Amino acid sequence: MRQSTLFYKTKRTVPKEIEAISHKLLYRGDFIDQLASGVYTLMPLGFLVHKKIEEIIREEMLKIGAQELYMPVMHPRYLWEKTGRWKTMGDTLFKLKDRHKKEFVLGPTHEEVITKIVKERISSYKDLPLALFQIQIKFRNELRFTGGLLRTREFIMKDLYSFHTDEKDFRKFYDKVIKAYLKIFKRCGLKPIVVEASGEGFTQSVTHEFQVLTPVGEDRIVFCPKCQFAQNKEIARGKEGKKCPACKKGILEERRGIEIGNIFPLGTKYSKSFDLTFTDKTGKKKLVIMGCYGIGLGRLMAAVVEINHDQKGIIWPKEVAPFLVHLVPVEIKDKKVYQSAEKIYQDLKREQIEVLYDDRKDVLPGEKFVESDLLGIPLRLIISRKNLSKHQAEIKKRGKEKTEFIKLGNIIKYIRAYEKKA
RNA sequence: CGGAGAGUAGUGUAAUGGCAGCACGAGGCCUUUGGGAGGCUUUAGUCCGGGUUCAAAUCCCGGCUCUCCGACCA
């Protein structure tokens, strides 16, 4: 992509009410645009990152055998009456009426819809287990929205639902999801801790949250630095300062975290409401055991920035970066510089390397570098007269001080090697 | 939803009942090309509605919006 044609506009200043670092940097880099409180546009740069995250999640979901589908945003009222959540979720639901006065909910989650779908298609233990997911928009009319993408009222979420014959099979899958989640987050440059939390109306049993520890986090967690034991403060009342119950060594500390994902054992709550049953080997009818598993993509994106940045801007982990390479020629008005920059750009494109090419002619090097730091593309490839006279280019990894010089002929090789490195 | 605060140009601010001003930004032209450069120039604002007044950014009433804390949540 040529930077001269990329639709973006970085900003030098930030309105004083923006506080969260991720919000500041995503705003300044023009990754997002605010439309209303808790409602954001993903600008072209932001959408590139969002799509990277989406693809990572999709890959890992498919790997554990889940199948992707796409459910509607509009849900008829009767489905939500069936589970009682039309009332219990109350004002969290965005409700609307069609011209015939039929009522609908803008889906905040899809247990109702998925259970309805699955009920009409399974009947035997032979149909189970089953795992279905979607990556789709959710609407939640929460009480408050803050921190840019950290909490919005309209957000894209990956929601996975699983269906099992018994508790043991469910647990097996549940553990598989935990591993898949950790892999997803790792690929996004995050190392969340797995925190025990209460089910909150969804379920009686303990659930698990994936929390990224950071001071800006909204959730309070009691955490053992020795063994990583962690509980959400809702269930760990008054345990901070005491000995860790798991390893008996560490002293529990209170930390703040951003919840980037959670997993719920649903038990038979929804299968009961919809009479979702199967016949087992002995011909007996039984309720299906369910689980649900969510990741908020925008929040995940914000969390990535909260963890991966410095004074100058974002440092995107390579798998979620909008581009892998930022090709920055300085003195681009010099014919030689221009020609080799153009050639390198074409070479990289031919190799399908994602490259942002700063082909702007009237921008000073300093401004190019400052903007490049802000946008946070992992590899910066600098072309200049000085370097060209030695038949080399300069490479700088975002977030590292060191610069390396490589021969022009070795650029592709270098990038390929970098791509592969874990 | 409870509490707190704020709305003047894209951003930050000034004008306390009497000419809406400044800085940065943004746009244009020229110069400049290794860390947001310089010169010239252009642009843009009192959140909305009502009221008081000779006169309202300023006072009063109503609305809308945004931010923060609590609560809720991916």
Query: Is the predicted pLDDT of residue A55 greater than 80, yes or no?
Result: yes
A383 vs A104: CA distance, rounded Å: 57
Query: Is the predicted pLDDT of residue A363 greater than 70, yes or no?
Result: yes
Q: What pLDDT score does A302 carry?
A: 95
Its ipTM equals 0.93
Query: Is the predicted pLDDT of residue A61 greater than 70, yes or no?
Result: yes
Mean pLDDT of A178-193: 96
Spanning CA of A126 to C1' of B72, the rounded length in angstroms is 40
Query: Is the predicted pLDDT of residue A178 greater than 70, yes or no?
Result: yes
Q: What pLDDT score does A199 carry?
A: 67
**Separation in Å, CA A85 to CA A93, A139, A273:** 9, 15, 11
Q: What pLDDT score does A253 carry?
A: 87
Closest among A213, A324, A299 to A22, alpha carbons compared: A299
Two tokens at A183? Answer: 């892999």
Percent of chain A predicted with pLDDT > 90: 79
Two tokens at A109? Answer: 């989650």
Give the orientation angle of helix A297-307 with respect to helix A44-63, to 10 degrees: 110
Q: What pLDDT score does A200 carry?
A: 58
**Contact, A288 CB vs strand B, < 7 Å:** no
Spanning CA of A28 to C1' of B5, the rounded length in angstroms is 25
A362 vs A169: CA distance, rounded Å: 63
Fold of A21-310: BirA Bifunctional Protein; domain 2 (3.30.930)
Q: How confident is the model at residue A215 (pLDDT cuts 50, 70, 90)?
A: confident
Mean pLDDT of A106-117: 96
Query: Model confidence over A231-281: pLDDT tens digits?
Result: 888 788 778 888 888 898 899 888 888 999 999 999 999 999 999 999 999
Instruction: Please provide the average confidence, as pLDDT, over all residues in chain A.
Output: 93
Two tokens at A196? Answer: 């025990």
Enumerate residues 6+ apart whose C-beta is below 8 A from A4: A359, A360
Give the DSSP letter of residue A166: S
Query: Is the predicted pLDDT of residue A149 greater than 80, yes or no?
Result: yes
| Strand B bases within 7 angstroms of protein beta carbons | 1-2, 10-13, 24-26, 31-37, 65-74
Q: Which of A107-116, A193-202, A305-314 has the lowest mean pLDDT?
A: A193-202
Q: What pLDDT score does A236 carry?
A: 81
Query: Is the predicted pLDDT of residue A105 greater than 90, yes or no?
Result: yes
Instruction: Name residue A328's beta-bridge partners.
Output: A382
Query: Model confidence over A9-22: pLDDT tens digits?
Result: 999 999 988 888 99
Token pair 């050639």 in the structure block, residue: A343
Q: What pLDDT score does A217 carry?
A: 83
Two tokens at A397? Answer: 């990894």
**Contact, A141 CB vs strand B, < 7 Å:** no
**Contact, A37 CB vs strand B, < 7 Å:** yes
Instruction: Name residue A395's beta-bridge partners.
Output: A381, A404
Percent of chain A predicted with pLDDT > 70: 99
Query: Model confidence over A154-167: pLDDT tens digits?
Result: 999 999 999 999 99
Two tokens at A31? Answer: 């990754």
Q: Are A302 and A27 in contact (CB under 8 A)?
A: no
Q: Are A22 and A305 in contact (CB under 8 A)?
A: yes
Spanning CA of A17 to C1' of B65, the rounded length in angstroms is 14
Q: What pLDDT score does A142 carry?
A: 87
Sign (positive or negative) of CA dihedral A72, A77, A82, A88:
positive
Q: How confident is the model at residue A143 (pLDDT cuts 50, 70, 90)?
A: confident
Q: What pLDDT score does A228 carry?
A: 86
Q: Are A54 and A70 in contact (CB under 8 A)?
A: no
A419 vs A355: CA distance, rounded Å: 13
Closest among A94, A90, A88 to A74, alpha carbons compared: A94
Q: Are A161 and A131 in contact (CB under 8 A)?
A: yes
Q: Which of A27-36, A250-259, A326-335 has the lowest mean pLDDT?
A: A250-259
Give the β-pairing of A67-68 and A130-139. Answer: parallel
Residues 142-201 of A with CB under 7 A from strand B: 142-147, 151-153, 155, 157, 200-201
Instruction: Name residue A158's beta-bridge partners.
Output: A135, A295
Q: Got the DSSP string for A1-28?
A: -BTTTS-----S---TT--SHHHHHHHH
Token pair 């639902």 in the structure block, residue: A161
Give the DSSP letter of residue A357: E
Q: What pLDDT score does A203 carry?
A: 56
The residue extents of the domains of chain A are 21-310, 325-420
CATH no. for A325-420: 3.40.50.800
Query: Is the predicted pLDDT of residue A201 greater than 60, yes or no?
Result: no
SS3 label, residue A36: strand
SS3 label, residue A387: helix
Higher pLDDT, A227 or A116: A116
SS3 label, residue A412: helix
Query: Is the predicted pLDDT of residue A202 greater than 70, yes or no?
Result: no
